[in-house]
Amino acid sequence: MTETETDVLVVGGGAAGIAAATTAARNGARTILVNAGPILGGELNYGAPVDGCLTARGEWAVGGFARDFFAACEKYDGYIGPVCDYRALNLVCIDPEAAKLAAIDLVSRADVQVLMYTFTDQAVVDDDGRIQGVVVRNKRGRTFIRAKTVIDATDDGDIAVAMGCEMMVSDAANGSAQSESLLFRMSGVDTGRLLDFVKSAPENFGAMEYPGFAEDAAAAIAGLVKQGQPKVLLTSDGPLLRDAVADGRMYPTSWVAVSPTSTARREVSIHTTVVPDVDATEIAREGVAFDSLHEQISMCADFLQRSLPGFEEAGLSAIDPFVGIRETRQVVGDYVLTGADVLSGKKSEDGVAKGCHELDVHDTAGHRRENVKDGGSYDIPFGCLVARDARNLLVAGRSLSADREAHSTARAMGSCMAMGQAAGTAAAMLSEPGSVSDLRGINLAGLRTLLKEQGAVLDGIS
Ligand SMILES: Cc1cc2nc3c(=O)[nH]c(=O)nc-3n(C[C@H](O)[C@H](O)[C@H](O)COP(=O)(O)OP(=O)(O)OC[C@H]3O[C@@H](n4cnc5c(N)ncnc54)[C@H](O)[C@@H]3O)c2cc1C
């Protein structure tokens, strides 16, 4: 086994991991990023709009790395920007192909050493509970990467598990997991025709939940049409989808979400497929889910082409590379963010990132949704990123320390980038000469000041 050494090791190159690695390196730490797959950005490449960036009131709740990422998407002609769904959310639409270029651009400009196609599930821990590094595996064999601080951005908390840290399954009582989905894209969509249909048959589309968007449902639909973007939610409250489900032209579903991904390709992403209650760490069952999700894609594309005005000439242009997994397990951190914290818009003196996406649980009880108080934001405390059983392991992204309700909002990609920036900056502080070596000794006021100097939004919005 070969051996190498670094200040900061980031495992996982999704939204949280690229933010963590880039900001750690920008702050002077020698940084290695290890990623199992062939592309950086993780679910940023799905085509889903980026949630958790703007409050329902329209204020930016993330800055710093996230805004740099959007600027890089724009450089590659892939930034549509903030779009309102006139229902409950403001979200940021990007082209997932540009997102791939943007992710590599930012990470490589920061001089991060990237190891793609490299997996790890083995942590080396000393008698004091400090992680010394991880053993990675790729085509060249096994390498021990020694690091002062490790950031677990693996989405399933693989490093925390390998260290033996306590983990939680968010619905442990029932042992159930949130549903999985597989997003796909269709190009050649006629937005004008689609929005004309929205105007003429508004009963088919979701609108008007957050009262700040419009005076009433009719005004919300008018706003949606005027905005001119193919950002609509077909719901089974209306006859188009309800009848299709009833007569078997569509699988049972209550909605089909359409979001713009590329103006040039007249392309949208479609988020609707669903397989409930699969534990994604159970790989055999995952294969069965995969079959069902692909069948649903074919059925839905056919339904849209035949039934939704604007889609007559549209064709399937991409199926996302990974099945979308909403949750598996989260680390138990120094602080566990709760649904009550989120819904009350709780602020915290040690907040190092903000969340603002609605509570968004897809479980056996259905799709539970509720906006943050007054359409505002909540703080993600530093303790949500610090594994309780470890001294120098940070967690960022989907495996943060949160209960099911809080997790359902904090896992949004905007918040993941903000958490990544906080973790990367904290890890860089720990690698400075003479620094404390335990995360509990970190100068939190200093970390917050540095984050704000580097564009993070921590204060100023309720
Ligand atoms: C169906 C679905 C729809 C969603 N819709 C939205 C939406 O509309 N808007 C929104 O903002 N969010 C949405 N989300 C949530 C959001 O996409 C994710 O929670 C978020 O992207 C997670 O980011 P991450 O960086 O934690 O992980 P990921 O983006 O999953 O990245 C993890 C990376 O780590 C790598 N990795 C994993 N394990 C290892 C290992 N052991 N060794 C090395 N590398 C490893 C993976 O290859 C991957 O590149 C959705 C999620 C799902 C499932």
| Residue 460 in domain | no
Q: Range of 284's domain?
A: 184-319
| C-beta neighbour count of 423 within 10 angstroms | 34
- pLDDT category at 192 given cuts 50, 70, 90 is very high
Asked if 225 and 164 sit in the same domain, the reply is: no
> CA angle, corner 211, sides to 207 and 216, nearest 5?
60
Structure tokens at 197: 């249909």
* Whether residue 238 has its Cβ less than 6 Å from ligand 1: no
Asked if 439 and 376 sit in the same domain, the reply is: yes
Distance 98 CA to ligand 1 centre (A): 17
- The shares of helix, strand and coil residues in the chain, as percent rounded to the nearest 5, are 35, 25, 40
d(CA 146, CA 134): 7
Asked if 164 and 244 sit in the same domain, the reply is: no
| Residue 230 in domain | yes
Asked if 252 and 337 sit in the same domain, the reply is: no
Nearest CA to ligand 1 atom 42: 119
| Residue 394 in domain | yes
- pLDDT category at 279 given cuts 50, 70, 90 is low
Asked if 260 and 300 sit in the same domain, the reply is: yes
Averaged pLDDT score across all residues of the chain: 93
- Best CA proximity match to 360, nearest among 405, 414, 419, 323: 405
Is the confidence at residue 172, as pLDDT, over 60?
no
| Residue 299 in domain | yes
**Of 263, 296, 319, which marks where a domain is finished?**
319
Asked if 42 and 133 sit in the same domain, the reply is: yes
| Residue 461 in domain | no
C-alpha distances (whole Å) from 282 to each of 166, 181, 276, 324, 332 are 19, 16, 14, 15, 21
Q: What is the pTM of this model?
A: 0.96
Is the confidence at residue 174, as pLDDT, over 80?
no
Distance 156 CA to ligand 1 centre (A): 9
**Of 270, 296, 319, which marks where a domain is finished?**
319
d(CA 73, CA 382): 29
CATH, residue 31? 3.50.50.60
d(CA 419, CA 396): 6
Ligand 1 atom at shortest distance from the alpha carbon of 257: 8
Residue count of the chain = 462
d(CA 134, CA 168): 22
Asked if 188 and 157 sit in the same domain, the reply is: no
Query: What pLDDT score was predicted for residue 325?
Result: 75
* Whether residue 412 has its Cβ less than 6 Å from ligand 1: yes
| Residue 389 in domain | yes
Tens of pLDDT, residue by residue over 37-84, are: 999 999 999 899 999 999 999 999 999 999 999 999 999 999 999 999
Asked if 375 and 248 sit in the same domain, the reply is: no
- pLDDT category at 145 given cuts 50, 70, 90 is very high
Q: How many domains does the chain have?
A: 2
Asked if 221 and 313 sit in the same domain, the reply is: yes
From 413, 415, 419, 421, the mutation candidate for ligand 1 (largest count of ligand atoms within 8 A of CB) is 413
Tens of pLDDT, residue by residue over 353-391, are: 999 999 988 776 677 889 999 999 999 999 999 999 999
Nearest CA to ligand 1 atom 39: 154
| Residue 388 in domain | yes
Q: What is the rounded average pLDDT of the residues 258-276?
A: 94
Ligand 1 atom at shortest distance from the alpha carbon of 118: 43
Residue scoring higher pLDDT (111 or 438): 111
**Of 273, 296, 319, which marks where a domain is finished?**
319
Asked if 52 and 166 sit in the same domain, the reply is: yes
> CA angle, corner 428, sides to 66 and 397, nearest 5?
45
Asked if 198 and 239 sit in the same domain, the reply is: yes
Is the confidence at residue 35, as pLDDT, over 80?
yes
Asked if 121 and 46 sit in the same domain, the reply is: yes
| Residue 6 in domain | yes
